[in-house]
């Protein structure tokens, strides 16, 4: 099957899943109204869902809340069946939906994430008591008594050790204008914040943590905006405003990616192909789609030298040369970060470098416009073997120039 056939199949399965969920909730609503779970010896619907049907406590709670909401407001069934509502948003909706506001509030929760639904809920019913005190709690990380054995296929490289996943910052909306954040930080961060508050006290006496962090973030953003780029700041501002700060990569269904993170300015006609840095020739793409655009222009063989699809820590980089007969070797010990290679990166290289033709140390005939197919280990050996010859040639060239001056 091609990609479109796979997508149609997935859409069909998703419709079946949503329809089954709606039917399940309607059946559970009738089952709960008649208290049929009591005939099976269970004290509550939750007990029945957890013990009889084998759902986890969280899943049983979600379905119990959704079941009773459906029983009270049957109009919730249709949005659940077509995907406009999901179980996580139904939990939030159940807290604020009433007989008086049912027709006004229900559409506001369509197609929202749990976090977005929480924000809408506090607009409807704000928290009565808003906590304002900063609470710092020392957390202890529990480690297993016996460390797990490494997997057989794990690379024997110290950099391949899997580190503990970073904790997620929890954002808890309280009122339409106030939000509480729960973030895990290091002791060093707490000390830095204390020092920043002391330093800020001369300019802003009695500054809160929020005010100090806001001032620091404003300085950071101002510093980021001053970074030198291949696109003039005026053009970048116009393109960002035109594209509304979202990735404009087209999707197969006619929409766009719409991502708002890791955004970059991409040239529609790459600079390496003569494309200008103008508003019409620039667009906003996320990093993943900027790399995809580079692959479509320069090909996977070229881009795999810079941004392999499955990078391995410590993998040697392929060697190439950029100058004359002597050339300049790129050491295989340098780690090239895949996220830094885009169409603009390749375009910034000199014209004779963009071909990525092999130099004299590769031992293969040069093929204009195509990179050498050299294994990583062989590429490393080529570079390390070429360095002495390059240094010797450079010394000989230096001696000849000194002799000419004499």
| Higher per-residue confidence, 320 vs 125 | 125
| CA distance linking residue 404 with residue 399, whole number of Å | 9
Predicted confidence (pLDDT) at residue 382 exceeds the cutoff of 90: no
What is the pTM assigned to this prediction? 0.49
Domain ranges of the chain: 3-124, 166-225, 233-298, 313-405
Query: How do residues 208-217 score in pLDDT, each as one tens digit?
Result: 888 889 989 9
Q: How confident is the model at residue 273 (pLDDT cuts 50, 70, 90)?
A: confident
CA-based torsion, 61, 67, 71, 73: positive or negative: positive
- What's the mean pLDDT in 247-273? 89
| CA distance linking residue 346 with residue 280, whole number of Å | 21
CA-based torsion, 389, 395, 398, 399: positive or negative: negative
Query: How do residues 114-148 score in pLDDT, each as one tens digit?
Result: 989 998 998 998 877 666 667 777 766 554 444 55
Q: Which residues pair with 171 in a beta bridge?
A: 181
Comparing 143-157, 172-186, 348-362, which segment has the lowest mean pLDDT? 348-362
Query: How do residues 37-67 score in pLDDT, each as one tens digit?
Result: 999 999 999 999 999 999 999 999 999 999 9
Q: How confident is the model at residue 201 (pLDDT cuts 50, 70, 90)?
A: confident
Q: Looking at residue 136, what is its pLDDT?
A: 73
């Amino acid at each position: 099957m091609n990609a479109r056939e796979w997508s149609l199949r997935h859409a069909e399965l998703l419709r079946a899943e949503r329809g089954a969920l709606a039917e399940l909730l309607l059946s559970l609503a009738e089952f709960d109204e008649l208290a049929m779970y009591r005939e099976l010896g269970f004290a509550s619907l939750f007990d029945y869902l957890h013990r009889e049907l084998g759902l986890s406590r969280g899943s049983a709670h979600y379905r119990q809340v959704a079941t009773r909401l459906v029983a009270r407001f049957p109009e919730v069934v249709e949005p659940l069946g077509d995907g406009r509502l999901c179980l996580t948003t139904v939990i939030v909706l159940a807290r604020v939906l009433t007989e008086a506001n049912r027709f006004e509030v229900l559409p506001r929760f369509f197609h929202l994430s749990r976090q977005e639904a929480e924000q809408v809920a506090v607009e409807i019913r704000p928290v009565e008591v808003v906590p304002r005190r900063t609470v710092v709690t020392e957390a202890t990380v529990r480690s297993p008594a016996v460390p797990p054995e490494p997997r057989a296929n794990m690379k024997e490289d110290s950099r391949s050790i899997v580190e503990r996943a970073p904790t997620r910052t929890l954002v808890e909306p309280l009122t339409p204008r106030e939000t509480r954040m729960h973030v895990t930080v290091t002791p060093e961060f707490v000390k830095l914040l204390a020092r920043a508050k002391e330093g800020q006290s001369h300019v802003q006496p009695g500054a809160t943590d929020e005010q100090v962090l806001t001032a620091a973030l404003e300085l950071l953003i101002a510093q980021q905006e001053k970074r030198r780029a291949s696109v003039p700041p005026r053009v970048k501002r116009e393109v960002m405003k035109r594209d509304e700060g979202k990735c404009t990569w087209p999707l197969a269904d006619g929409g766009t990616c719409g991502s708002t993170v890791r955004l970059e300015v991409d040239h529609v006609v790459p600079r390496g192909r003569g494309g200008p840095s103008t508003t019409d020739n620039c667009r906003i793409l996320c990093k993943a789609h900027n790399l995809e655009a580079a692959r479509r222009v320069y090909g996977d063989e070229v881009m795999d030298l810079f941004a392999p699809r499955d990078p391995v820590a410590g993998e040697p980089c392929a060697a190439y040369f950029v100058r004359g007969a002597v050339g300049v070797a790129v050491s295989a010990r340098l780690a090239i970060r895949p996220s830094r290679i885009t169409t603009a990166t390749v375009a910034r290289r000199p014209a004779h470098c963009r071909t990525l033709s092999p130099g004299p140390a590769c031992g293969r005939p040069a093929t204009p416009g195509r990179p050498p197919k050299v294994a990583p280990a062989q590429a490393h050996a080529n570079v390390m073997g070429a360095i002495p010859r390059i240094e010797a040639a450079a010394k000989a060239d230096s001696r000849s120039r000194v002799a000419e001056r004499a």
